[in-house]
């Protein structure tokens, strides 16, 4: 049975070009990049090139890139490194929400029914001791794009640092940290067909942060520990693909996403697009099926060879409904009837059409078993 992957917001497969870039770093270029001998300097050269590549994908300077173990560490470094009152939103990734929750005075600003935060609500939450505003660029469950540049201008006017979790934005929309006006921006390699276990935090030159890890003077003294050179090289190669080829791929995926939504809604009654009234990235569709529980729907689709999800992979196994769907005003029943489809480079028209047929069949079968559906 063929299997098709529609969960690219959770993670993406490592691309062939990324694998090829990483392979020599496992066996041939194995030096410590902090060593002064030739082995170390070869590794340092690879690391420097990777840093330039990631910076290029963000419109940043190489010296403004701090490599981390992933998006979660980058988010935590921004939040705890700012050391003060934090303002964030109710739809953030757990890496931001749970970090902010450790700060007793943190403020969580609500969003509207489409999942978009009002910049003026963020402005109203600023206090004399506010140190950081953290708003995600693209929501991982809905694909909704936040008005980041406008919020960043508010932060700048108030003399407050601006951080954005851009993990779901890079590779899906154009990212230029200079135009956005952010001071800090988190990204992760495994969302753009790079390896797991490596990410980065853009730190605008002149921005003062406290480190989370203490030790050697690695990564501008902001992230102690010998760098993951192979991972960074893979990240750098993935970032090169983003710079050179992502624009066309983004358009292709949006066509497929629209085909998926239109195909399902044309053949299935009672289907709603969560966040559909807002600007969204082109690969993400969060659909709500009246009278359906998402868990049996996910299982049935998986048995047919289609991998989809009910929300953030970092929240899987949670008994409570998605905090994002609750934040946009859905009831527990509505949140539990929602499924996220996220497309990537491997998906084709034929796969999308097969998925539409499978969804139509499975929903019809489950509704026959669910007399509550009207």
* Cα gap 299→303, rounded to integer Å: 6
* Cα gap 357→373, rounded to integer Å: 21
* Cα gap 145→244, rounded to integer Å: 22
Phi, psi angle pair for 185, to nearest 5° = -150, 125
Place of tokens 């006017």: 157
* Cα gap 212→369, rounded to integer Å: 51
Pair 134, 79: CB distance under 8 Å: yes
Pair 117, 108: CB distance under 8 Å: no
Residues acting as catalytic residues:
314
3-state secondary structure at position 135: coil
- How many C-beta atoms lie closer than 10 Å to residue 344's C-beta? 21
Q: Which two tokens stand for residue 328?
A: 């946009």
């Amino acid at each position: 049975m063929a299997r098709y992957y529609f969960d690219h917001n959770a993670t993406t497969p490592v691309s062939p070009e990324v694998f090829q870039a990483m392979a020599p770093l496992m066996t041939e270029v194995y030096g410590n990049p902090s060593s002064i001998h030739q082995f170390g300097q070869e590794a340092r050269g690879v690391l420097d090139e990777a840093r330039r590549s990631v910076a290029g994908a963000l419109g940043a300077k190489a010296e403004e890139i701090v490599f981390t173990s992933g998006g979660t560490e980058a988010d935590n470094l921004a939040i705890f490194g700012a050391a003060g009152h934090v303002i964030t939103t109710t739809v953030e990734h757990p890496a931001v929400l749970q970090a902010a929750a450790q700060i007793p005075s943190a403020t969580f600003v609500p969003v509207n029914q489409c999942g978009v935060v009002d910049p003026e609500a963020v402005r109203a939450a600023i206090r004399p001791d506010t140190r950081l505003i953290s708003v995600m660029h693209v929501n991982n469950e809905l694909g909704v794009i936040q008005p980041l540049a406008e919020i960043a201008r508010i932060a700048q006017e108030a003399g407050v640092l601006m951080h954005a979790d851009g993990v779901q934005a890079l590779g899906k929309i154009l990212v230029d940290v200079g135009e956005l006006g952010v001071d800090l921006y988190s990204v992760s390699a495994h969302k753009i067909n790079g390896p797991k276990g490596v990410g980065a935090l853009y730190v605008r030159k002149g921005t003062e942060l406290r480190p989370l890890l203490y030790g050697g003077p690695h990564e501008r003294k902001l992230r102690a520990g010998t760098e993951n050179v192979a991972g960074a090289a893979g990240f750098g190669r993935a970032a090169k693909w983003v710079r050179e080829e992502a624009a066309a791929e983004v358009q292709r995926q949006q066509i497929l996403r629209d085909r998926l939504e239109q195909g399902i809604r044309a053949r299935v009654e009672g289907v709603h697009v969560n966040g559909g009234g807002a600007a969204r990235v082109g690969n993400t569709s969060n659909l709500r099926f009246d009278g359906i529980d998402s868990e049996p729907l996910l299982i049935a689709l998986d048995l047919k060879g289609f991998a989809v999800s009910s929300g953030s992979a970092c929240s899987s196994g949670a008994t409570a409904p998605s905090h994002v769907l609750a934040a946009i005003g859905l009831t527990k029943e509505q949140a539990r009837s929602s499924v996220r489809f996220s497309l990537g480079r491997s998906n084709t028209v034929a796969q999308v059409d097969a998925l539409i047929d499978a969804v139509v069949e499975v929903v019809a079968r489950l509704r026959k078993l669910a007399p509550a559906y009207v």
